[in-house]
Structure 1
Amino acid sequence: MNPIIGVIGLGNMGRNMAATLVGKGFSVIGFDLSDTARQQAEKQGIVPANHLDDIARQCSVVILSLPKAEHVEAVCLGDNGLIKQLTSGTIVIDTTTSIPEMSRKIANAFAPQGIEFIDAPVSGGPAGAAAGTMSMVIGGKLDTYHLVLPILEAMSSVRVHVGDVGAGNIAKIANNMLAAAHLITTSEALTLAEKAGVDPSKVLEAINAGSGRSGASQAMFPTWVMNKAYDSGFTMGLMRKDVGLAKALAQNLELNLPMTMKTAELWQQSAAVLPDSDDFCCIAQCTNPSLFAKETK
């Protein structure tokens, strides 16, 4: 299977995913509303499309990399959306962190036209997208998953098929809720160590050798927090959106999940001091500004 692949959404994630596919021999056409994004994509070997119908006309596999569920709905089901342009047999892979209800709505709308849809949200940030080392959690028909597996393998190092359409979104929401909580709990643990007179960097090393380690302690703090780089490519606004999705899902299911609710509350409260445009690892600064605040030049 060597189709022409369309990528819709050429931000940090979508553009790097597209460039990774180009580097592995795939033909990729990219579309974004931003002229600048299309120009940057062209420099990375991605053929720029000026209109959505350019993607629909030429591509048998379409990858979406968009900010929110409402953007996915507009692109797929809007007045000039993909549903009116794609042909039978096309497969749409949505890498957006969306909501299960939206994925199911789109899949059900596509089905009568013979268009397949899978939700495949990703972890690993822009660096992982550029290196092809992302993790993907995937919801959709198993047969459809196997059809696009060579493409997914080129984009990622780990793939988990979770279940039917929507299951990938649920897994990603759960994952990001944990990541959001672990950023806060790790910063609190290191604050505790500092105030007790122990070097936080040594305590972080000890945590990563023990049972308290997490993705936050093993990757996020060493890479973006302790060195005060704060340049992961994932924003506070996006993580606030994701923890909001976890809170909404818990409420819709009428679950009593106090840690989820508290995590969402803390991320929302942080908006008073950290704008949406800040790197998501900046949440550590709310616990201990003296230890984690980015140095001004």
Structure 2
Amino acid sequence: MKNIGVIGLGNMGRGMAISLKRGGFHVIGTDASSKTRDAMVGEGIEVRTSIAEVVAASDMVILSLPTAAIVAEVVEGPGGLIANAKKGVLVVDTSTSHPDTTRRLARLLEAAGMQMMDAPVSGGPKGAINGTMAMVIGASNEDLARAMPVLEAMSAKRVHVGGVGAGHVAKIANNLFTASHLIVAAEVTRMAAKAGVPTEALLQGINAGSGRSFVTEHSFPTWVMNGKFDSGFTMKLMRKDVRLSQELIGALALDLPLSAKVAELWALSSESIADDEDFNRIVELGTRTPA
């Protein structure tokens, strides 16, 4: 596992490629966008124009892509991984995708002589470039052991939650929590402010008690209260992840009313908060005039 391919060199993929290079791996990357590929010049990454070239040169291929549909296209579409199969290559999907899609693609890759695992990540672009991300991993014990030196170069925390697809279940659950916490934190801080308790003081109290969360401890002071809103993760991506949660809940035939309301609010937010805005802007839902 010395030659590592990275397909998708956006905010997260770029950081992961740089972390792998820093960790001593030979990194070969590609992206559908020529502009994104050109931006990697000078980073020490061997940039190629096709998936075929990346697979041919790699022992492992890491996917960092925005949607399950794009992951499927990269794996099984014309010019994709299966069309250029190389026996023994391990495919690691770090995207946030649908577990059923992951399991189906894993079966197709196995038939082509390749293996697949899912290791979706948290930590944003900063975590990717610094190698401090967290991963929830769905894989066999054997594939995880093979991949571990590479994963260690990209991440600070790794939790093996089950077989292929389990990582994506856990990541969908994680992002549904975050999507919910942001909305609740926005409402609670508004309530307290109107009752005369400043947000900074309120959060100090909450973070000393049982109501604390990543949102109150990190998101609000880092991106919300200072008005920066520059986490590197967009409204469009979180809306997609919330939709994934509803698809999974539906497939499991569950009735989860609070989750359904959260999904409704995130969908409604598209009327007043643009796709390319930072996802933490959801705290402004109900305070903006629809476009």
How high is the TM-score relative to the length of structure 2?
Answer: 0.97
Which position in structure 2 is the counterpart of 1:98?
97
State the SS of the aligned residue for 1:82. coil
Q: Distance in 2 between matches of 1:193 and 1:287?
A: 16
Describe the SS at the equivalent of 1:42.
Answer: coil
Paired residues for 1:231-242 under 5 Å: 231-242=230-241
SS state of the match for residue 70, structure 2?
Answer: helix
SS in 1 for 2:218: helix
Q: Could you tell me whether the CA contact under 8 Å between 2:99 and 2:166 is conserved in 1?
A: yes
Deviations 1:246-290, CA, capped at 9 Å, x for gaps: 11111111111011101000000000000111000000011556x
- Matched residue type, 1:161: H
Tell me the percent identity: 48
1:114 CA drift (Å): 2.1
Cα shift at 1:112? 2.1
Question: In structure 1, how many angstroms separate the alpha carbons of the residues matched to 2:89 and 2:41?
Answer: 24
Counting only pairs closer than 5 Å after superposition, residues 177-192 of structure 1 correspond to structure 2 as: 177-192=176-191
Does the 8 Å contact 1:95/1:121 carry over to 2?
yes
Q: TM-score, normalised by structure 1?
A: 0.95
The amino acid that maps onto 2:124 is G
Q: Is the Cα contact below 8 Å between 2:85 and 2:113 reproduced in 1?
A: no
Q: For residue 109 of structure 1, what is the aligned residue in structure 2?
A: 108
CA distance in 2, matches of 1:287, 1:19: 40
Tell me what 2:278 maps to.
Answer: 279
| Partners of 2:38 and 2:220 in 1: CA distance | 33
Task: After TM superposition, list the pairs within 5 Å mapping 1:217-232 onto structure 2.
Answer: 217-232=216-231
Moved more, 206-215 or 58-67: 206-215
CA distance in 2, matches of 1:86, 1:260: 40
Q: Is the 8 A contact 2:7 2:63 kept in 1?
A: yes
Q: 1:118 to 1:127 in 2, by over 3 A?
A: same
Q: How does 1:119-268 map to 2 (within 5 A)?
A: 119-268=118-267
Check whether the contact 2:182–2:283 (CA below 8 A) recurs between aligned residues: yes
The CA RMSD measured in Å over matched residues stands at 1.0
Kindly provide the amino acid, as one letter, of the partner of residue 29 in structure 1.
I
What residue number does 1:33 align with? 32
- One-letter amino acid of the counterpart of residue 71, structure 2: V
Stretches of structure 1 that go unaligned for 5 or more consecutive residues are 290-297
Deviation of the 1:140 alpha carbon:
1.4
Within 2, Cα distance between the matches of 1:288 and 1:194? 14
Hey, which bits of structure 1, 4+ residues long, moved more than 6 A?
Answer: none
**Aligned-partner Cα distance in 2 for 1:12–1:80:** 24
Does the CA contact (< 8 Å) of 1:184 and 1:287 recur in 2?
no
Which stretch of structure 1 is more off in the superposition, 47-56 or 58-67?
47-56
Contact 1:94 1:120 in 2 (8 A): yes
Amino acid at match of 2:182: L
Aligned mates of 2:85, 2:219 — CA distance in 1:
39
Q: Which amino acid aligns with 1:127?
A: K
SS at match of 2:40: helix
Mapped contact 1:4–1:26 kept (Cα < 8 A): yes
**Partner-residue secondary structure (3-state), 2:39:** helix
**Matched residues in 2 for 1:104 and 1:186: separation?**
35
Aligned AA (1:57): A
SS of equivalent to 2:160: strand
Deviates more, 1:236-245 or 1:17-26: 17-26
Where in structure 2 are there 5+ consecutive unaligned residues?
none
Q: Give the letter for the 2:275 counterpart.
A: D
Contact preservation (8 Å) 2:94, 2:121? yes
Provide Cα deviations, 1:161-216, integer angstroms capped at 9, x if missing partner.
Answer: 11111100000000000000000111111111100011111111111111101111
CA distance in 2, matches of 1:33, 1:16: 17
Which residue pairs with 1:22 in the alignment?
21
Count matched residues. Answer: 288
Output the amino acid matched with 2:188. Answer: A
**After superposition, what is the alpha-carbon deviation per residue over 1:21-51, rounded to whole angstroms, capped at 9, x for unaligned?**
1112111011001112112222222111111
